[in-house]
Structure 1
Amino acid sequence: MRKAVIFDLDGTLANTDEVHKLAWEIALRKLGYDVKVDIRYLLGRKTIDIAKILIGESHAEKLASVKTEIYNELVKTLAKPKPCVMELINRLRDVEIPIAVVTSSMRNSAVQVLKVINVEPDVLITGDDVKLGKPNPMPVIEAIKRLNVDPNESVGVGDTIYDVMAYYSAGIREIIVVRSSVPLNVEEARKYDAKILDSLCEISDWFELF
Protein backbone atom coordinates (compact mmCIF):
# COMPACT_ATOMS: atom_id res chain seq x y z
CA MET A 1 0.00 0.00 0.00
CA ARG A 2 1.31 3.46 -0.90
CA LYS A 3 1.51 5.71 2.14
CA ALA A 4 3.66 8.63 0.98
CA VAL A 5 4.92 10.41 -2.12
CA ILE A 6 8.35 12.02 -2.35
CA PHE A 7 8.84 14.70 -4.98
CA ASP A 8 11.89 16.38 -6.39
CA LEU A 9 11.40 20.14 -6.76
CA ASP A 10 13.34 21.68 -9.64
CA GLY A 11 12.10 20.37 -12.97
CA THR A 12 9.46 18.21 -11.27
CA LEU A 13 7.11 20.52 -9.37
CA ALA A 14 8.52 23.78 -10.74
CA ASN A 15 10.13 24.94 -13.98
CA THR A 16 13.21 25.97 -12.02
CA ASP A 17 15.48 23.50 -13.79
CA GLU A 18 15.59 26.12 -16.54
CA VAL A 19 16.17 28.90 -14.00
CA HIS A 20 19.09 26.99 -12.45
CA LYS A 21 20.68 26.60 -15.89
CA LEU A 22 20.34 30.32 -16.56
CA ALA A 23 21.78 31.21 -13.14
CA TRP A 24 24.80 28.98 -13.74
CA GLU A 25 25.44 30.54 -17.14
CA ILE A 26 25.23 34.08 -15.74
CA ALA A 27 27.46 33.24 -12.76
CA LEU A 28 30.12 31.64 -14.93
CA ARG A 29 30.21 34.65 -17.27
CA LYS A 30 30.29 37.07 -14.34
CA LEU A 31 33.36 35.35 -12.88
CA GLY A 32 35.07 35.03 -16.25
CA TYR A 33 34.79 31.29 -16.82
CA ASP A 34 34.30 29.80 -20.28
CA VAL A 35 33.17 26.26 -19.52
CA LYS A 36 32.34 23.91 -22.39
CA VAL A 37 29.92 21.74 -20.44
CA ASP A 38 26.20 21.20 -20.97
CA ILE A 39 25.02 22.22 -17.51
CA ARG A 40 21.69 20.47 -17.99
CA TYR A 41 23.39 17.11 -17.43
CA LEU A 42 24.56 18.24 -13.99
CA LEU A 43 21.25 19.60 -12.71
CA GLY A 44 19.88 17.63 -9.79
CA ARG A 45 23.15 17.63 -7.86
CA LYS A 46 24.03 19.95 -4.97
CA THR A 47 25.20 23.42 -5.97
CA ILE A 48 28.68 23.00 -4.53
CA ASP A 49 29.10 19.65 -6.26
CA ILE A 50 28.19 21.16 -9.63
CA ALA A 51 30.59 24.05 -9.04
CA LYS A 52 33.43 21.62 -8.33
CA ILE A 53 32.70 19.70 -11.51
CA LEU A 54 32.64 22.90 -13.57
CA ILE A 55 35.78 24.66 -12.31
CA GLY A 56 37.49 22.44 -9.74
CA GLU A 57 37.59 22.75 -5.96
CA SER A 58 39.76 25.82 -5.40
CA HIS A 59 37.17 28.44 -6.41
CA ALA A 60 34.02 26.33 -6.24
CA GLU A 61 32.60 27.97 -3.12
CA LYS A 62 32.79 31.43 -4.71
CA LEU A 63 31.05 30.23 -7.86
CA ALA A 64 28.38 28.42 -5.84
CA SER A 65 27.73 31.55 -3.77
CA VAL A 66 27.42 33.83 -6.79
CA LYS A 67 25.18 31.35 -8.60
CA THR A 68 22.89 31.06 -5.57
CA GLU A 69 22.54 34.85 -5.28
CA ILE A 70 21.65 35.12 -8.96
CA TYR A 71 19.23 32.21 -8.78
CA ASN A 72 17.41 33.63 -5.76
CA GLU A 73 16.76 36.83 -7.71
CA LEU A 74 15.69 35.07 -10.90
CA VAL A 75 13.13 32.80 -9.25
CA LYS A 76 11.19 35.80 -7.97
CA THR A 77 9.96 36.45 -11.49
CA LEU A 78 10.70 33.27 -13.45
CA ALA A 79 9.59 30.39 -11.20
CA LYS A 80 6.32 28.76 -12.16
CA PRO A 81 4.59 25.49 -11.22
CA LYS A 82 4.69 22.67 -13.75
CA PRO A 83 1.33 21.72 -15.32
CA CYS A 84 -1.11 19.84 -13.04
CA VAL A 85 0.95 20.35 -9.87
CA MET A 86 -1.88 21.70 -7.76
CA GLU A 87 -4.36 19.12 -9.06
CA LEU A 88 -1.98 16.34 -8.09
CA ILE A 89 -1.13 17.79 -4.67
CA ASN A 90 -4.81 18.39 -3.90
CA ARG A 91 -5.68 14.84 -4.86
CA LEU A 92 -3.05 13.48 -2.49
CA ARG A 93 -4.33 15.76 0.26
CA ASP A 94 -7.87 14.53 -0.34
CA VAL A 95 -6.82 10.94 0.35
CA GLU A 96 -4.53 11.99 3.23
CA ILE A 97 -1.30 10.88 1.60
CA PRO A 98 1.62 12.86 3.08
CA ILE A 99 4.16 14.37 0.71
CA ALA A 100 7.83 15.21 1.01
CA VAL A 101 9.97 17.39 -1.20
CA VAL A 102 13.61 16.36 -1.50
CA THR A 103 15.76 18.85 -3.38
CA SER A 104 19.43 19.56 -3.92
CA SER A 105 18.69 23.30 -3.70
CA MET A 106 19.56 25.19 -0.54
CA ARG A 107 16.71 25.69 1.94
CA ASN A 108 16.21 29.40 1.39
CA SER A 109 15.96 28.84 -2.36
CA ALA A 110 13.63 25.87 -2.00
CA VAL A 111 11.30 27.66 0.40
CA GLN A 112 11.11 30.61 -1.97
CA VAL A 113 10.14 28.39 -4.91
CA LEU A 114 7.59 26.42 -2.87
CA LYS A 115 5.91 29.68 -1.89
CA VAL A 116 5.74 30.79 -5.51
CA ILE A 117 4.13 27.53 -6.65
CA ASN A 118 1.94 27.34 -3.51
CA VAL A 119 3.05 23.90 -2.32
CA GLU A 120 3.48 23.13 1.39
CA PRO A 121 5.04 19.68 1.87
CA ASP A 122 4.78 17.76 5.12
CA VAL A 123 8.54 17.22 4.97
CA LEU A 124 11.19 19.28 3.20
CA ILE A 125 14.76 18.04 2.81
CA THR A 126 17.19 20.44 1.15
CA GLY A 127 20.82 20.52 0.12
CA ASP A 128 21.94 22.00 3.42
CA ASP A 129 20.10 19.41 5.53
CA VAL A 130 22.35 16.50 4.60
CA LYS A 131 26.04 15.99 3.99
CA LEU A 132 25.62 14.10 0.73
CA GLY A 133 23.17 14.98 -2.03
CA LYS A 134 21.63 13.06 -4.90
CA PRO A 135 22.43 10.58 -6.39
CA ASN A 136 23.38 9.52 -2.86
CA PRO A 137 20.24 8.24 -1.08
CA MET A 138 20.92 10.16 2.15
CA PRO A 139 18.33 12.94 1.58
CA VAL A 140 15.66 10.45 0.51
CA ILE A 141 16.36 8.22 3.51
CA GLU A 142 15.99 11.24 5.78
CA ALA A 143 12.65 12.11 4.18
CA ILE A 144 11.38 8.55 4.62
CA LYS A 145 12.46 8.64 8.26
CA ARG A 146 10.60 11.91 8.93
CA LEU A 147 7.50 10.67 7.11
CA ASN A 148 7.61 7.56 9.32
CA VAL A 149 6.95 5.18 6.43
CA ASP A 150 8.80 2.29 4.85
CA PRO A 151 10.53 2.73 1.48
CA ASN A 152 8.29 0.08 -0.08
CA GLU A 153 5.27 2.15 0.95
CA SER A 154 6.59 5.23 -0.85
CA VAL A 155 6.53 6.58 -4.39
CA GLY A 156 9.40 8.68 -5.73
CA VAL A 157 8.79 11.32 -8.40
CA GLY A 158 11.60 13.22 -10.13
CA ASP A 159 13.00 14.37 -13.45
CA THR A 160 16.67 13.33 -13.47
CA ILE A 161 18.64 10.12 -13.31
CA TYR A 162 20.04 11.41 -10.01
CA ASP A 163 16.52 11.35 -8.55
CA VAL A 164 16.02 7.81 -9.82
CA MET A 165 19.30 6.56 -8.37
CA ALA A 166 18.66 8.21 -5.00
CA TYR A 167 15.14 6.77 -4.74
CA TYR A 168 16.23 3.29 -5.75
CA SER A 169 19.23 3.24 -3.40
CA ALA A 170 16.92 4.33 -0.56
CA GLY A 171 14.75 1.28 -1.16
CA ILE A 172 11.91 2.85 -3.15
CA ARG A 173 10.73 0.65 -5.98
CA GLU A 174 7.88 2.75 -7.40
CA ILE A 175 9.67 5.53 -9.26
CA ILE A 176 8.18 7.99 -11.73
CA VAL A 177 10.29 10.18 -14.00
CA VAL A 178 8.62 13.24 -15.48
CA ARG A 179 10.47 14.71 -18.43
CA SER A 180 11.92 18.21 -18.06
CA SER A 181 14.60 20.28 -19.80
CA VAL A 182 17.21 17.96 -18.26
CA PRO A 183 18.27 15.28 -20.78
CA LEU A 184 17.24 11.81 -19.67
CA ASN A 185 18.91 8.52 -20.56
CA VAL A 186 15.75 6.47 -20.91
CA GLU A 187 17.51 3.12 -21.03
CA GLU A 188 19.42 3.88 -17.84
CA ALA A 189 16.26 5.03 -16.05
CA ARG A 190 14.46 1.87 -17.04
CA LYS A 191 17.20 -0.23 -15.45
CA TYR A 192 15.63 0.95 -12.19
CA ASP A 193 12.12 0.06 -13.43
CA ALA A 194 11.22 3.74 -13.51
CA LYS A 195 7.97 4.76 -15.18
CA ILE A 196 8.64 7.60 -17.61
CA LEU A 197 5.96 10.23 -18.27
CA ASP A 198 5.86 13.42 -20.31
CA SER A 199 3.94 15.41 -17.69
CA LEU A 200 2.63 15.32 -14.14
CA CYS A 201 -0.81 15.45 -15.74
CA GLU A 202 -0.32 11.81 -16.74
CA ILE A 203 -0.07 10.76 -13.09
CA SER A 204 -3.71 11.58 -12.35
CA ASP A 205 -5.18 8.25 -13.42
CA TRP A 206 -2.24 6.37 -11.92
CA PHE A 207 -2.92 7.85 -8.50
CA GLU A 208 -6.46 6.51 -8.57
CA LEU A 209 -4.76 3.42 -7.15
CA PHE A 210 -4.34 5.13 -3.76
Structure 2
Amino acid sequence: MRLRAFIFDLDGTLIDSVEAHVKSWITSFEYVGYSNVSEDNVRKLIGLSGMDIVKILLGDDGLRMYSLIRRVKNKVFFREIREGNVELYPCAPELLAYLKSRGKLLGLASSTPNYLLIQILEIFNIMDYFDVIVGGDEVRNGKPHPDIFIRAFSKLGVDPREGSVVGDTYYDIMPANRIGAFSILVLHDSGNSLSHTPTSTADETLPKLKVRSLCELLEILKELRN
Protein backbone atom coordinates (compact mmCIF):
# COMPACT_ATOMS: atom_id res chain seq x y z
CA MET A 1 0.00 0.00 0.00
CA ARG A 2 1.35 3.41 -0.97
CA LEU A 3 0.27 6.08 1.48
CA ARG A 4 0.17 9.58 0.04
CA ALA A 5 -0.60 11.48 3.22
CA PHE A 6 -0.26 11.26 6.99
CA ILE A 7 -2.61 13.04 9.39
CA PHE A 8 -1.25 13.41 12.93
CA ASP A 9 -2.97 14.05 16.22
CA LEU A 10 -1.00 16.44 18.44
CA ASP A 11 -1.48 15.91 22.17
CA GLY A 12 -0.16 12.57 23.35
CA THR A 13 1.05 11.79 19.83
CA LEU A 14 3.63 14.40 18.82
CA ILE A 15 3.94 16.26 22.12
CA ASP A 16 3.94 14.87 25.66
CA SER A 17 1.19 17.15 26.92
CA VAL A 18 -1.56 15.00 28.40
CA GLU A 19 -0.64 15.61 32.04
CA ALA A 20 -0.32 19.34 31.40
CA HIS A 21 -3.82 19.33 29.91
CA VAL A 22 -5.16 17.40 32.89
CA LYS A 23 -3.62 19.92 35.31
CA SER A 24 -4.94 22.83 33.25
CA TRP A 25 -8.51 21.50 33.20
CA ILE A 26 -8.50 20.68 36.92
CA THR A 27 -7.21 24.16 37.76
CA SER A 28 -9.82 25.83 35.56
CA PHE A 29 -12.62 23.75 37.09
CA GLU A 30 -11.49 24.65 40.60
CA TYR A 31 -11.38 28.32 39.60
CA VAL A 32 -15.12 28.28 38.87
CA GLY A 33 -15.99 26.25 41.96
CA TYR A 34 -15.80 22.61 40.85
CA SER A 35 -13.23 20.93 43.09
CA ASN A 36 -14.57 17.38 42.97
CA VAL A 37 -13.48 16.41 39.44
CA SER A 38 -10.84 13.68 39.49
CA GLU A 39 -7.72 13.70 37.36
CA ASP A 40 -8.54 10.22 36.06
CA ASN A 41 -11.92 11.38 34.78
CA VAL A 42 -10.28 14.26 32.94
CA ARG A 43 -7.40 12.16 31.63
CA LYS A 44 -9.62 9.64 29.86
CA LEU A 45 -11.36 12.47 27.98
CA ILE A 46 -8.22 14.12 26.62
CA GLY A 47 -8.63 14.08 22.87
CA LEU A 48 -12.20 15.33 22.89
CA SER A 49 -13.07 18.96 22.26
CA GLY A 50 -12.99 21.33 25.20
CA MET A 51 -16.74 21.85 25.07
CA ASP A 52 -17.35 18.10 25.12
CA ILE A 53 -15.02 17.68 28.10
CA VAL A 54 -16.81 20.42 30.03
CA LYS A 55 -20.25 19.11 29.11
CA ILE A 56 -19.43 15.55 30.18
CA LEU A 57 -17.81 16.56 33.47
CA LEU A 58 -19.78 19.65 34.51
CA GLY A 59 -23.00 19.47 32.52
CA ASP A 60 -24.97 22.46 31.28
CA ASP A 61 -23.94 24.60 34.26
CA GLY A 62 -20.32 24.20 33.21
CA LEU A 63 -21.10 25.02 29.59
CA ARG A 64 -22.58 28.34 30.67
CA MET A 65 -19.15 29.21 32.08
CA TYR A 66 -17.19 27.71 29.20
CA SER A 67 -15.55 30.94 28.02
CA LEU A 68 -14.11 31.64 31.46
CA ILE A 69 -13.07 28.01 31.97
CA ARG A 70 -11.34 28.01 28.59
CA ARG A 71 -9.43 31.23 29.29
CA VAL A 72 -8.13 29.92 32.60
CA LYS A 73 -7.31 26.54 31.09
CA ASN A 74 -5.32 28.09 28.23
CA LYS A 75 -3.39 30.35 30.62
CA VAL A 76 -2.37 27.42 32.81
CA PHE A 77 -1.49 25.21 29.83
CA PHE A 78 0.84 27.76 28.24
CA ARG A 79 2.45 28.31 31.64
CA GLU A 80 3.14 24.57 31.72
CA ILE A 81 4.82 24.88 28.32
CA ARG A 82 6.96 27.83 29.47
CA GLU A 83 8.02 25.89 32.57
CA GLY A 84 9.21 22.98 30.43
CA ASN A 85 6.47 20.55 31.41
CA VAL A 86 5.44 19.90 27.80
CA GLU A 87 7.94 18.45 25.34
CA LEU A 88 8.11 16.96 21.88
CA TYR A 89 8.24 13.19 21.94
CA PRO A 90 11.56 11.69 20.81
CA CYS A 91 11.87 11.41 17.02
CA ALA A 92 8.87 13.67 16.33
CA PRO A 93 10.79 16.22 14.19
CA GLU A 94 12.84 13.47 12.56
CA LEU A 95 9.71 11.52 11.59
CA LEU A 96 8.01 14.58 10.12
CA ALA A 97 11.17 15.55 8.24
CA TYR A 98 11.57 12.04 6.85
CA LEU A 99 8.00 11.90 5.59
CA LYS A 100 8.39 15.29 3.91
CA SER A 101 11.63 14.11 2.29
CA ARG A 102 9.68 11.19 0.83
CA GLY A 103 7.17 13.56 -0.74
CA LYS A 104 4.32 12.78 1.66
CA LEU A 105 1.61 15.31 2.44
CA LEU A 106 1.26 16.02 6.15
CA GLY A 107 -1.70 17.25 8.11
CA LEU A 108 -2.49 17.93 11.74
CA ALA A 109 -5.97 17.24 13.13
CA SER A 110 -6.49 18.15 16.76
CA SER A 111 -9.45 18.91 19.01
CA THR A 112 -7.55 22.01 20.14
CA PRO A 113 -8.86 25.23 18.52
CA ASN A 114 -6.89 26.34 15.48
CA TYR A 115 -5.61 29.61 16.94
CA LEU A 116 -4.03 27.69 19.83
CA LEU A 117 -2.64 24.97 17.57
CA ILE A 118 -0.69 27.53 15.57
CA GLN A 119 0.89 28.95 18.73
CA ILE A 120 1.84 25.50 20.01
CA LEU A 121 3.33 24.37 16.70
CA GLU A 122 5.38 27.55 16.47
CA ILE A 123 6.68 27.13 20.03
CA PHE A 124 7.92 23.63 19.19
CA ASN A 125 9.17 24.69 15.75
CA ILE A 126 7.23 22.07 13.77
CA MET A 127 4.71 24.34 12.05
CA ASP A 128 6.43 24.26 8.66
CA TYR A 129 6.18 20.49 8.33
CA PHE A 130 2.41 20.57 7.89
CA ASP A 131 0.58 21.23 4.66
CA VAL A 132 -2.77 21.62 6.45
CA ILE A 133 -3.86 22.20 10.03
CA VAL A 134 -7.40 21.48 11.19
CA GLY A 135 -8.50 22.50 14.67
CA GLY A 136 -11.53 21.35 16.56
CA ASP A 137 -13.23 24.68 15.96
CA GLU A 138 -13.36 23.99 12.20
CA VAL A 139 -15.80 21.08 12.39
CA ARG A 140 -19.28 20.63 13.81
CA ASN A 141 -18.66 17.20 15.32
CA GLY A 142 -15.45 16.60 17.25
CA LYS A 143 -13.58 13.35 17.76
CA PRO A 144 -14.44 10.48 17.81
CA HIS A 145 -16.61 11.57 14.87
CA PRO A 146 -14.49 11.42 11.71
CA ASP A 147 -15.31 14.97 10.54
CA ILE A 148 -11.94 16.45 11.48
CA PHE A 149 -10.01 13.79 9.56
CA ILE A 150 -12.35 13.99 6.58
CA ARG A 151 -11.72 17.74 6.46
CA ALA A 152 -7.95 17.31 6.74
CA PHE A 153 -7.80 14.77 3.90
CA SER A 154 -10.14 16.94 1.82
CA LYS A 155 -7.90 19.98 2.27
CA LEU A 156 -4.95 17.85 1.15
CA GLY A 157 -6.90 16.57 -1.85
CA VAL A 158 -6.30 12.96 -0.81
CA ASP A 159 -8.76 10.08 -0.52
CA PRO A 160 -8.64 8.84 3.11
CA ARG A 161 -8.07 5.32 1.78
CA GLU A 162 -4.73 6.56 0.44
CA GLY A 163 -3.69 8.06 3.76
CA SER A 164 -2.86 7.29 7.35
CA VAL A 165 -4.00 8.68 10.70
CA VAL A 166 -1.44 8.61 13.51
CA GLY A 167 -2.79 8.98 17.04
CA ASP A 168 -2.58 7.79 20.62
CA THR A 169 -6.19 6.95 21.58
CA TYR A 170 -9.34 5.42 20.17
CA TYR A 171 -10.52 9.00 19.54
CA ASP A 172 -8.11 8.86 16.58
CA ILE A 173 -8.19 5.17 15.68
CA MET A 174 -11.95 4.65 15.50
CA PRO A 175 -12.72 7.56 13.12
CA ALA A 176 -9.67 6.67 11.02
CA ASN A 177 -10.97 3.15 10.55
CA ARG A 178 -14.46 4.40 9.75
CA ILE A 179 -13.21 6.44 6.79
CA GLY A 180 -10.86 3.74 5.53
CA ALA A 181 -7.57 5.37 6.50
CA PHE A 182 -4.59 3.31 7.66
CA SER A 183 -4.70 3.77 11.44
CA ILE A 184 -1.49 3.85 13.49
CA LEU A 185 -1.59 3.78 17.29
CA VAL A 186 1.45 5.19 19.11
CA LEU A 187 1.74 3.83 22.65
CA HIS A 188 4.77 5.84 23.80
CA ASP A 189 5.65 2.89 26.04
CA SER A 190 2.59 3.63 28.15
CA GLY A 191 0.95 0.28 27.64
CA ASN A 192 -2.08 2.12 26.31
CA SER A 193 -4.55 -0.54 25.28
CA LEU A 194 -7.39 1.79 24.34
CA SER A 195 -8.89 0.97 27.74
CA HIS A 196 -11.28 3.90 27.51
CA THR A 197 -12.92 2.56 24.38
CA PRO A 198 -16.69 3.09 24.43
CA THR A 199 -19.23 0.56 23.26
CA SER A 200 -18.48 -0.13 19.61
CA THR A 201 -17.56 -2.99 17.33
CA ALA A 202 -14.10 -4.37 18.01
CA ASP A 203 -12.82 -3.78 14.49
CA GLU A 204 -13.52 -0.05 14.75
CA THR A 205 -11.03 0.41 17.57
CA LEU A 206 -8.25 -1.90 16.41
CA PRO A 207 -5.34 -0.04 14.78
CA LYS A 208 -3.84 -1.36 11.57
CA LEU A 209 -0.41 -0.81 13.13
CA LYS A 210 0.63 -0.41 16.75
CA VAL A 211 4.04 1.02 17.68
CA ARG A 212 5.74 1.76 20.99
CA SER A 213 7.10 5.14 19.92
CA LEU A 214 7.56 7.57 17.06
CA CYS A 215 11.14 6.32 16.82
CA GLU A 216 9.86 2.81 16.13
CA LEU A 217 7.44 4.14 13.52
CA LEU A 218 10.28 6.00 11.82
CA GLU A 219 12.37 2.84 11.65
CA ILE A 220 9.47 0.82 10.24
CA LEU A 221 8.86 3.38 7.51
CA LYS A 222 12.54 3.40 6.59
CA GLU A 223 12.59 -0.40 6.43
CA LEU A 224 9.51 -0.46 4.19
CA ARG A 225 11.32 1.81 1.76
CA ASN A 226 14.16 -0.71 1.38
TM-score between the two structures when normalised by the length of structure 1: 0.90
Name 1:207's counterpart in structure 2.
Answer: 221
- Root-mean-square deviation (CA, aligned residues, Å) is 2.2
Does the C-alpha gap of structure 1 residues 80 and 19 become closer, same or farther in structure 2, counting only changes over 3 Å?
same
Aligned residue for 1:157, secondary structure, equals strand
Q: Distance in 2 between matches of 1:3 and 1:74?
A: 35
With 128-137 and 33-42 compared, the bigger mean Cα shift is at: 33-42
Aligned residue for 1:59, secondary structure, equals helix
Aligned 1:27-176 pairs, distance under 5 A? 27-33=28-34, 34-36=36-38, 38-60=41-63, 61=66, 62-77=68-83, 78-120=85-127, 121-172=130-181, 174-176=182-184
Does the C-alpha gap of structure 1 residues 142 and 54 become closer, same or farther in structure 2, counting only changes over 3 Å?
same
- Higher relative contact order at CA 8 Å, sep ≥6: structure 1 or structure 2? 1
Name 1:196's counterpart in structure 2.
Answer: 210
1:27 positional shift:
1.1
Structure 1 gaps of 5+ residues are none
Identity of aligned residues (%): 32
Amino acid at match of 2:203: K
Amino acid at match of 1:130: V
TM-score between the two structures when normalised by the length of structure 2: 0.84
- Spell out, residue by residue over 1:76-103, the C-alpha distance to the aligned partner (whole angstroms, 9 max, x if none): 3333111100110111111111100000
Aligned residue for 1:108, secondary structure, equals helix
Structure 2 gaps of 5+ residues are none
- Spell out, residue by residue over 1:9-38, the C-alpha distance to the aligned partner (whole angstroms, 9 max, x if none): 001011122211110111122222112452
